[in-house]
Amino acid sequence: MEIVKVTLPIAELLKYKHEFEGEEYVTFEVAKMQNPDRFGREYTVYCTTKEETEDPKPATKGRKRKTEAATA
């Protein structure tokens, strides 16, 4: 069995918290690196962050055209 140990400082972890339906969460992914780093570590962690965006433009009236990707 392969186990990946994740150790994160709480202060850093709290930077990535988000709320969903009244609960607080931190979302992260553990990924295997192509090559070990200089300390021999083979995995890295990516945290999901919330991005602030402007309100989307109002929907335009009219029909959208469906496009299909060409296959080789």
Residue 10 has, within 13 A of its CA and on its CB side, a CA count of 0
At residue 25, the 3 state secondary structure works out as: strand
pLDDT at position 34 is: 95
Residue 43 has, within 13 A of its CA and on its CB side, a CA count of 11
pLDDT at position 28 is: 85
pLDDT at position 21 is: 94
- C-beta separation of 25 from 13 below 8 A: no
Q: Which whole-number Å values give the CA distances from 25 to 10, 16, 21, 38, in the listed order?
A: 13, 8, 10, 31
Locate the domains of the chain by residue range: 10-47
Task: Supply the pTM of this predicted model.
Answer: 0.49
pLDDT digits (tens, 9 = 90+) for 11-66: 988 888 888 899 999 888 889 999 999 999 898 888 877 666 776 666 555 555 54
